[in-house]
Structure 1
């Protein structure tokens, strides 16, 4: 066991446990760590639990007890046909009002000291329970989320899909078969019209799903913040992806283009193969503002009514986001890039305060413009999902839900009581990031979730599923625990904070059924014991990635003095036929999990072509992430891995050819078939792999301005969406996928 807390104050440890902090944790090597006492004290203080003295510790313990009692009365969460039990002392008479309006009167039964229960409820939904003086929301969830089979039914080919980075999509120029004009300002950078075209062609090619990168709201006034996994708000959409003619029509957009000044009209972005958001986003917003001003003056009555209805449905959350966007743009010039609401004058920190109200009244047009942008964006997403379903996709879009939000953004400003402050979400040291990771994001406060009947979590799920047939939850391990790092601390000096996983999984199942959506969890990394089994019970697919589907082999700890090694823990047992696989070999398709989405790679990992060519190794060498000797070892290891993969492809019957030596060119079609042969209920293939591209969308740890920074989140596809599924290589790859899925 590593040193850490040592002889930590027992009262402090009890407070930490009560607050959900884990004083002990185990790393990927099996070593147990004690969290340092200063880290615990810092984290408790950050969570609003003073602990500098015995008196403060006692008071904080009392505060947690009071919160637990109050939170128990906010929401009761149960599963269909499970008798809800809860803490209560009083008259046992109750009235249960179901979501459909039906009422039942009954008497609660004793269920242990200080607890009562009511009979099981067979109807899922959000019901209301009145007992004594309590009014409790009773959420009754189905036993599991919808399965892929629930949505697709029986099909001759096992379901498969494609994955796309929305920003990377390009449409063909007008007059070359594009279904909509490519307006000035839209020559570079994806949009919802391109996504709709892609969805139509993917569906016509037989895909059941289209998994997309996050489309959360970013910072429209600050185009340098374009990482889709660091959004301003997960409740709203990225205005950069708007295609205005979807709602306004080509004539209105064309008129607005004609009204723009010559400098704007001549400022077309050059096609460098990368999206220059610094140039593209301001240009798009200028045209959209002109369109909005025209809309206010002489917009058609039916569109005005739709806009008003959208604004009314959005309510306070929409108005707060629009107000943030206006305030952020107002202060950005003085405060500079990467600033946030914490840098504004203090009177503007409260989104419901009088100063913010006065600003909103004085800048109604600005706020209305940002509401208008969300209306256009929402309509674009709706169109893309409609195209997917009309083209025969039983699932359609699979939205991507980021793990958290930028603490300087709209969500953190407007929902301050629901979010953690003063910490960053990240990951402890592991095999691939030996120093740990700090993502610079904030996340929900588990205490606030309980006290507010999980309103923020439910609201976020509904936003993600509004126009999608599925959702991928990034770092779904965060439903069980989050690695939190105090400000200015090393990622290694963090601590796990537990989350109410069982309640959150039940609510996830309830919302998934209400939206008829599949749920996929990115469960890679340091996985808590029993977590994957919990996902299976709830019908949530995990994620199986080719590069990680290797038989166990010795894992050596970095910088180990003794050089001793340890065998990793075996994977949880799967209900598949056992086969003998040598250490380090790629697991054959039949051994892959039937409870996970299968994919060759992810946005953070090499493409098939890039992995085979060692493109990722080349980048890490260029970025000096490895010393020279380690670089040579990695190159040798990759050659060994290529041989291992080639043998696996041969053994699975996915490749043919003389001998066991791997070919020079990446065996892309064979790898696609290999992944497609797995028993996974859904196999998803990135467009980068279908097109044989070498560059991965994101190389973690390589951000920054200038050279030699990797071009994270800005690379464009070389082929227009109108033409992807007519490309000879793509046609051949999809044929290999379909044939393998028939045999899976």
Structure 2
């Protein structure tokens, strides 16, 4: 009986029992894992009687709501939804009222029994019936409110009614077939003659100007989400504190308006000691996050003091702009600023305050009286971090303006991480939305033979629905600010996520499903409102039909050259055969560079880090790599993409500049609308950005570029490559062919 109840709950919560693994083989979820995931959702799974009672309570809650808390519909002449009422009320007249986002009111009536019966359930002797009914109304896209009431205006139920376009936004020139290209970068890795040891928004401006001048159409960014200013070694952009706010380490301190007015800030920066300190931060090949953040915060404290004295106290135009920013940021910005202020405060007291679970108990939730008192007592400390978000947003906006002024057709594209870390602001401020006894990751696949546990607590799909998807709406909207495109990392998260019970290894997880149709529709609405093209990173274990679903929703696929192989003979597809509605690339931040791939550096490193279960697995990977390289050569020679003097036998071919650049040009001739390339490959670098499946074993997210930006764009051969890429993309579009 326990197993029966567990399976019933798994079905109702979208916990999958079976799936197809990355190699196309059927796989079964461990039964214990399903029970542990239900326990993480709050169910007591110890005995049948307890489970039966919980299922009963759940059904009462579900059927007592006459209408779902949120209804998401594509724009149409009528809108269908299910209404649930006790059987004896199903013939009664129901009034409906829709208040649109703009405040307009549309009204009407319906009789549920005149619709189509779709469900029935008996609870405690009461028979509930569900009927599909339709409302005829001319509604604009947007977030509206639906209220159902009886003839004497007693409210029966209400719902958020979200009306959306059928597909995401695409710029007209892309629809017309334009072939765009640009680099994707980890912003922190940029070197320059002027930054403080980490790439910043001024470096981004320089990069945008240079790429635009060479014919590029965009620059893609790694996630620039808020991390932890007082715990800077937590540096993974894919394990943020908040995905709604920005990483303040990217602020160019000297570019802030108040810096030029702050004698104290300038005195620090111009001192011999500080200059020596900055040079020491700039020279290593790895980013010193602690050193950089400490240097920036020290000066930013003085800049903020000037802002308070010269702007806030005088209620200047700039002060009012800041206050408007704070007002628009609402609770979310207050939560972020308070979190950062508290963490700094606790570290100053000697507490290892890595995240909210390590804080004193009375501060472990944003809503506590202790937190409210701290915000009131230390308003200036909280305002400081709100000010830094204001500055970061301002500098990102200025960078995007440079892209527009430089004639880039797409400009910046941003990257949305799949989740937040367990000690994050988002979890601290909305614990009901996240499950703390589970984390998301990936089952064993090509990139991670042991599977991956990303340490990110999953969002509870049902809680998101009860909140009318507001967390997702805010998330999409905030990440579409100041950019022309948004890449969604692991876009499969809109359909399903691999949940791993706390304390278990990655292979002991299960897929949990999300309401993909609703989420894609909301994504489409925000995409149009923000004029933002959407790219979905659809790699890994992908179920049948999802590619078509994403394409129909206007989401651009993500095609990586090394994965585009025939299942029949293992040959590499020509880029001309890639989907048009896609971004193509040679490699990614989770993969080796071109040189690293060819030299098998990633396999050597994986052995050193203990990523392979035994030597046989490693030798199989070496054999596969050798075969892959030979087939790449075969493909390049077969399409005339490399000259005849390069041997057709891989045993005699090293990764030279000629082969490196030829591969990039080979991709440029492809059919995908977007082409993203790596600065690392322009520089022929070897070391990877990130090694999946590792944390402290390898210095992930710290490796800088080998040359500064000024040197990179002064390199004649790089300039020739970029010019050639532009011409090849034009020909692929049919311009000048």
Q: Same fold, TM exceeding 0.5?
A: yes
Output the CA distance in 2 between the equivalents of 1:168 and 1:684.
17
Structure 2 SS opposite 1:21: coil
User: How much is the aligned-residue C-alpha RMSD, in angstroms?
Assistant: 2.4
Shift of the 723–351 alpha-carbon distance from structure 1 to 2, 3 Å rule, reads same
| Partner residue, 1:111 | 115
Offset at residue 371 of structure 1 (A) = 0.7
User: Bigger shift: 17-26 or 414-423?
Assistant: 17-26
- Deviation digits for residues 222-261 of structure 1 (CA, Å, limit 9, x no counterpart): 1110111110111110011111344425523565130578
Output the CA distance in 2 between the equivalents of 1:68 and 1:210.
46
| Partner residue, 2:78 | 83
Shift of the 130–151 alpha-carbon distance from structure 1 to 2, 3 Å rule, reads farther
| Partner residue, 1:177 | none
Output the CA distance in 2 between the equivalents of 1:625 and 1:99.
52
Output the CA distance in 2 between the equivalents of 1:474 and 1:250.
36
Offset at residue 71 of structure 1 (A) = 9.4
- Which residues in structure 2 correspond to 1:25-36 (within 5 Å)? 25-36=19-30
| Partner residue, 2:689 | 697
Gaps of 5+ in 1: 1-6, 173-181, 554-582
Alignment partner of 1:660 is 2:648: yes
Contact 1:121 1:140 in 2 (8 A): no
Offset at residue 679 of structure 1 (A) = 1.2
| Partner residue, 1:464 | 479
Alignment partner of 1:731 is 2:723: no
Offset at residue 349 of structure 1 (A) = 2.1
| Partner residue, 2:213 | 204
| Partner residue, 1:371 | 386
Structure 1 SS opposite 2:136: coil
| Partner residue, 2:147 | 130
| Partner residue, 2:127 | none
Contact 1:15 1:57 in 2 (8 A): no
Contact 2:262 2:306 in 1 (8 A): no
| Partner residue, 2:183 | 162
Alignment partner of 1:187 is 2:209: no
Shift of the 215–85 alpha-carbon distance from structure 1 to 2, 3 Å rule, reads same
| Partner residue, 2:498 | 483
Give the one of 33, 39, 42 matched to 1:39.
33
Offset at residue 665 of structure 1 (A) = 3.3
| Partner residue, 1:297 | 309
Give the one of 522, 525, 540 matched to 2:540.
525
Output the CA distance in 2 between the equivalents of 1:282 and 1:467.
27
Structure 1 SS opposite 2:565: coil
Offset at residue 319 of structure 1 (A) = 1.0
Output the CA distance in 2 between the equivalents of 1:637 and 1:18.
42
Output the CA distance in 1 between the equivalents of 2:210 and 2:109.
57
| Partner residue, 2:235 | 226
Output the CA distance in 2 between the equivalents of 1:363 and 1:303.
23
Output the CA distance in 2 between the equivalents of 1:703 and 1:73.
41
Contact 1:21 1:496 in 2 (8 A): yes
Shift of the 695–82 alpha-carbon distance from structure 1 to 2, 3 Å rule, reads farther
Alignment partner of 1:268 is 2:278: yes
| Partner residue, 1:602 | 588
User: Bigger shift: 644-653 or 598-607?
Assistant: 644-653
Contact 1:245 1:253 in 2 (8 A): no
Offset at residue 344 of structure 1 (A) = 2.0
| Partner residue, 2:572 | 586
Output the CA distance in 2 between the equivalents of 1:297 and 1:387.
31
| Partner residue, 2:372 | 357
Gaps of 5+ in 2: 86-91, 118-130, 150-154, 733-737
Give the one of 211, 214, 222 matched to 1:213.
222
Offset at residue 534 of structure 1 (A) = 0.9
**Structure-2-length-normalised TM-score:** 0.89
Output the CA distance in 2 between the equivalents of 1:108 and 1:254.
70
Contact 1:425 1:484 in 2 (8 A): yes
**Structure-1-length-normalised TM-score:** 0.88
Contact 2:201 2:250 in 1 (8 A): yes
Contact 1:80 1:122 in 2 (8 A): yes
Shift of the 104–361 alpha-carbon distance from structure 1 to 2, 3 Å rule, reads closer
User: Bigger shift: 633-642 or 425-434?
Assistant: 633-642
Contact 1:342 1:408 in 2 (8 A): yes
Output the CA distance in 1 between the equivalents of 2:609 and 2:27.
31
Contact 2:181 2:674 in 1 (8 A): yes
Output the CA distance in 1 between the equivalents of 2:525 and 2:606.
43
| Partner residue, 1:426 | 441
| Partner residue, 2:296 | 284
Output the CA distance in 1 between the equivalents of 2:512 and 2:261.
51
Output the CA distance in 1 between the equivalents of 2:470 and 2:61.
16
| Partner residue, 2:121 | none
- Deviation digits for residues 672-718 of structure 1 (CA, Å, limit 9, x no counterpart): 122112211111112112232222211223431xxxx4332112223
- Deviation digits for residues 245-291 of structure 1 (CA, Å, limit 9, x no counterpart): 44425523565130578755542342012211121111111111111
Shift of the 722–254 alpha-carbon distance from structure 1 to 2, 3 Å rule, reads farther
- Which residues in structure 2 correspond to 1:541-580 (within 5 Å)? 541-552=556-567
Alignment partner of 1:719 is 2:707: yes
Shift of the 267–39 alpha-carbon distance from structure 1 to 2, 3 Å rule, reads same
Structure 2 SS opposite 1:472: strand
- Which residues in structure 2 correspond to 1:248-267 (within 5 Å)? 248=257, 251-252=260-261, 255-259=264-268, 264=274, 266-267=276-277
Structure 1 SS opposite 2:230: coil
| Partner residue, 1:645 | 632
Structure 1 SS opposite 2:219: strand
Output the CA distance in 2 between the equivalents of 1:737 and 1:63.
61
| Partner residue, 1:670 | 662
Number of residue equivalences: 691
Contact 1:129 1:138 in 2 (8 A): yes
| Partner residue, 1:559 | none
User: Bigger shift: 259-268 or 727-736?
Assistant: 259-268
| Partner residue, 2:89 | none
